[in-house]
């Protein structure tokens, strides 16, 4: 056990106070099995330790409000509504859909929303996700569902009683607002698709295979009452005990079904030949309703389905919500919600911006933003922080990098040595001294501009990019990035571990040897002492003496990843992104330890392609499908666990540890308890629980967490860490 303790001390020495460990050592000796300790040590050794307490919020710049697909929409009245979808996205509107504010991001997609009133609501989705809010979505708290199956539909008949349906026949029931969920027995293992109740006793559930289940006793018993004889049912709605509607697909065609006998038999009322599938429906009376589906198809009936009006929008219609007032909302396309306030006669599209795949962005002042489209010479330019964009095109075949000293004076470089500059929106082709691909360009001042490229190419302009000179290079390796540290000092990185340094404006170069010969893609300095380079093999080198020595560090659990960009806003606070992924890693100890953040998206098909920094330290992220996000003032709100703690560890106690899920926290000796916050993090620094400490004792339910080591952090009203404990969960 002594060796285990020593190993734990070694692992945590850079970011965790030893005294916190000492206070828990007795419990470790008494209650942890050797097998669990071995697993714990292996997990910690692979993961590293994070010291991030506040994961900050990235804001969408383009498209607006975002480009995550939306699967669910719910309105309480003509003004107040919510929508949810990929990456745990939940957003709210208070003006009927004209404008939306993102309330939540996460790991798992949200597939269904339900609100009882303007404050109380639930959101469910993949991997057993169930989130609850009691303040209109300002905060979303996880509820434990005791399952990792994907959920598809949620329905509440009042603030206490509700149901969740999902994968492999899982059907959950709560009678206490979701504080606890119990699984109900149903006669099917098919995926459940939708729930519809007309009161707290009578309800129906549809399956993906076309089977309809019914309960008449509040879910105590469920029976199969019908098989609709179709390939799939995606949505179902009962108007009353007898009249019901359903949509799905059959034989590769969209299908609308109607029942007039409580779902016992179903009639194929409408078959859509040119649509493979229908996803959602909403009726506010038996005769008037709407249906949406693939290929942007939108159907409307005002005569109980005897006839249907057809419309086509861009994108797939995943969900629909309608009110008797004539207000209709449809989720279709990435981040897109179409709104009508006159029963579908006119439509408003809330989404603004563009969806092109991006290669890189550049912003010097957080107001003027350039965005280069991947494999193209197309450029989007904004002069108002991304509120609106103007499309332009350089004279190159393909753009690789851009930079400007002033928005009206900029340079773009690309393939075959291509260089173009812009003056007052007019692009001018510039003679280039090379035909090798150029990979990066940066201004030092209004006159001096540097560019690097393949085959060791190093170019310099002394008149703002109008004329260029090729400098003698010490290598023929492809060069990928450059950092201008001063008028005469430069650092350049490239393939095969290339690191070049010049202190005389490029007249002479020193080739700096590195222990790893993987490609180096990014270089960053904050002054003439502290610098970082990053690239293949999840490798990050740090220097604290101006490049005389370089120390290697690695991202946790990603030994074969490639870091494409690394930026720092201070000596300790930095970020990097990984190639072909949507991973953003963050450090607050200068690069020794890194934690994974969610960022904007958690969809593998839309990876980030570039991470950059403006002069005011605003961070910009770019990716596929037009993704542009920013993080303002990233240094604010960061609290390091290695920072001085205001009080001693005796100010709080928490027990038991190990815990099977419930954690009791005593705060009797803590001053100003009412303004403190309790935050639980895992070993990667991800926040799993957060609440205000409203009394001298708090009870925290962590039963939804996996077994492992966690940190309890007590944060004061001023954002400072005042106490910390380790907590082990072993269920």
Q: For residue range 343-361, what is the model confidence (pLDDT) as tens digits?
A: 888 998 888 999 999 999 9
| pLDDT beyond 50 at 104 | yes
- At 429 the pLDDT is 95
Q: How confident is the model at residue 685 (pLDDT cuts 50, 70, 90)?
A: low
Q: How confident is the model at residue 718 (pLDDT cuts 50, 70, 90)?
A: low
What gap in Å lies between CA 571 and CA 549, rounded to an integer?
16
Tokens for 245?
């509607």
What gap in Å lies between CA 418 and CA 415, rounded to an integer?
6
Q: Among residues 427, 353, 441, 352, which one has the least CA distance to residue 394?
A: 427
Which of 30-39, 56-65, 270-279, 609-618 ranks highest by mean pLDDT?
609-618
For 215, phi then psi, to 5°, come to -125, 145
| pLDDT beyond 60 at 41 | no
| pLDDT beyond 50 at 524 | yes
| pLDDT beyond 80 at 161 | yes
| pLDDT beyond 50 at 35 | no
Q: How many CB atoms lie within 10 A of CB 303?
A: 9
- At 386 the pLDDT is 95
What is the sign, positive or negative, of the torsion defined by CA atoms of 209, 212, 218, 223?
negative
Q: Among residues 245, 243, 215, which one has the least CA distance to residue 228?
A: 245
| pLDDT beyond 90 at 569 | yes
- At 76 the pLDDT is 96
Q: How confident is the model at residue 209 (pLDDT cuts 50, 70, 90)?
A: very high
What gap in Å lies between CA 284 and CA 607, rounded to an integer?
40
- At 668 the pLDDT is 61
Contact indicator for 381, 367 with CB cutoff of 8 Å: no
| pLDDT beyond 80 at 108 | yes
Contact indicator for 693, 618 with CB cutoff of 8 Å: no
| Average pLDDT over all residues of the chain | 86
Query: Residues near 686 by Cβ (< 8 Å), separated by ≥ 6?
Result: 50, 55, 595, 596
Chain position carrying tokens 């997609």: 109
Angstrom CA distances, 345 to 77, 88, 313, 340, stand at 19, 32, 14, 7
- At 719 the pLDDT is 59
- At 724 the pLDDT is 76
| pLDDT beyond 60 at 182 | yes
What gap in Å lies between CA 270 and CA 133, rounded to an integer?
39
- At 33 the pLDDT is 40
Tell me the percentage of the chain whose pLDDT exceeds 70: 87
- At 704 the pLDDT is 77
* Domains annotated on the chain, with CATH: 2-48+647-729 (2.60.40.10), 65-349 (2.130.10.10)
The per-residue b/e assignment along 545-577, b for 16 or more CB within 10 angstroms, e otherwise, is: ebbeebeebebbebeebbbbbbbbbeebbbbbb
Long-range own/partner contacts, residues 633-638 (CB < 8 A, 24 or more apart): 634/56, 634/569, 634/573, 634/575, 635/569, 635/570, 635/573, 637/54, 637/56, 637/719, 638/52, 638/53, 638/54, 638/56, 638/573, 638/588
């Amino acid at each position: 056990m002594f060796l285990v303790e020593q190993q734990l001390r070694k692992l945590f020495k850079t970011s965790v106070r030893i005294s916190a460990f000492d206070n828990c050592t007795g419990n470790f000796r008494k209650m942890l099995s050797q097998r669990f300790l071995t697993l714990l040590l292996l997990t910690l050794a692979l993961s590293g330790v994070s010291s991030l307490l506040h994961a900050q919020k990235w804001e969408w710049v383009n498209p607006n409000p975002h480009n995550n697909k939306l699967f669910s929409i719910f309105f309480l009245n003509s003004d107040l509504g919510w929508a949810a979808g990929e990456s745990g996205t939940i957003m709210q509107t208070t003006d009927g859909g004209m404008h939306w504010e993102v309330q939540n991001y996460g790991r798992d997609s949200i597939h269904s929303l339900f609100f009882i009133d303007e404050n109380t609501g639930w959101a469910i989705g993949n991997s057993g996700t169930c989130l609850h809010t009691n303040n209109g979505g300002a905060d979303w708290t996880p509820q434990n569902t005791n399952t990792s199956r994907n959920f598809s539909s949620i329905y509440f008949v009042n603030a206490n009683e509700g149901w969740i349906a999902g994968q492999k026949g899982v059907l959950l029931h709560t009678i206490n607002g979701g504080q606890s969920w119990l699984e109900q027995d149903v006669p099917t293992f098919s995926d459940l698709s939708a729930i519809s109740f007309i009161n707290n006793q009578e309800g129906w559930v549809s399956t993906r295979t076309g089977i309809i289940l019914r309960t008449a006793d509040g879910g105590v018993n469920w029976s199969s009452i019908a098989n609709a004889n179709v390939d799939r049912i995606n949505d179902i709605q009962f108007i009353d005990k007898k009249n019901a509607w359903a949509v799905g697909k059959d034989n590769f065609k969209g299908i609308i079904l109607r029942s007039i006998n409580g779902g016992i038999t179903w009639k194929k009322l409408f078959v859509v030949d040119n649509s493979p599938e229908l996803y959602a429906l909403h009726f506010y009376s038996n005769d008037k309703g709407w249906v949406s589906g693939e290929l942007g198809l939108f159907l409307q009936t005002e005569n109980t389905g005897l006839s249907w009006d057809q419309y086509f929008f861009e994108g797939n219609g995943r969900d629909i919500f309608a009110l008797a007032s004539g207000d209709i909302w449809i989720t279709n396309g990435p981040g897109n919600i179409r709104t009508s306030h006159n029963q579908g006669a006119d439509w408003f599209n809330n989404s603004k911006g563009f969806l092109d795949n991006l290669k890189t962005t550049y912003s010097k002042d957080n107001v003027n933003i350039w965005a280069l489209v991947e494999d193209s010479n197309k450029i989007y330019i904004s002069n108002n922080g991304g509120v609106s964009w103007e499309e332009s095109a350089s004279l190159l075949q393909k753009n690789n990098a851009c930079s400007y000293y002033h928005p009206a004076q900029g340079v773009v470089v690309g393939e075959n040595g291509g260089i173009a500059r812009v003056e007052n929106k007019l692009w001018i082709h510039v003679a280039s001294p090379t035909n090798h691909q150029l990979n990066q360009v940066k201004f030092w001042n209004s006159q001096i501009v540097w560019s690097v490229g393949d085959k060791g190419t190093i170019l310099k302009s002394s008149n703002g990019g109008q004329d260029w000179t090729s400098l003698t290079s010490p290598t023929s390796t492809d060069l990928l990035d450059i950092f201008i540290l001063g008028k005469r000092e430069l650092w350049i990185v490239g393939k095969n571990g290339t690191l070049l340094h010049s202190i005389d404006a490029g007249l002479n170069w020193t080739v700096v040897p590195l222990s790893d010969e993987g490609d180096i893609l990014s270089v960053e300095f904050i002054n003439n002492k502290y610098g970082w380079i990053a690239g293949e093999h999840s490798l990050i080198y740090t220097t604290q003496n101006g490049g005389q020595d370089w120390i290697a560090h690695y991202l946790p659990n990603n030994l074969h990843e490639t870091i494409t960009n690394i930026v720092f806003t201070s000596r300790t606070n930095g970020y990097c992104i990984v190639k072909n992924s949507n991973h953003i890693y963050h450090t607050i100890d200068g690069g020794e330890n890194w934690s994974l953040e969610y960022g904007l998206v958690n969809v593998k098909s839309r990876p980030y392609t570039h991470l950059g920094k403006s002069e005011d330290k605003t961070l910009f992220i770019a990716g596929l499908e037009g993704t542009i996000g920013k993080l303002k003032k990233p240094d604010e709100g960061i609290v390091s666990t290695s920072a001085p703690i205001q009080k001693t560890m005796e100010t709080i106690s928490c027990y038991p540890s190990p815990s099977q899920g419930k954690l009791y926290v005593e705060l009797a000796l803590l001053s100003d308890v009412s303004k403190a916050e309790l935050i639980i993090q895992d070993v990667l620094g991800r926040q799993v629980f957060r609440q205000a400490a409203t009394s001298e004792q708090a009870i925290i339910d962590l039963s939804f967490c996996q077994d492992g080591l966690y940190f309890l952090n007590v944060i004061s009203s001023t954002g400072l860490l005042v106490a910390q404990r380790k907590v082990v969960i072993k269920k």
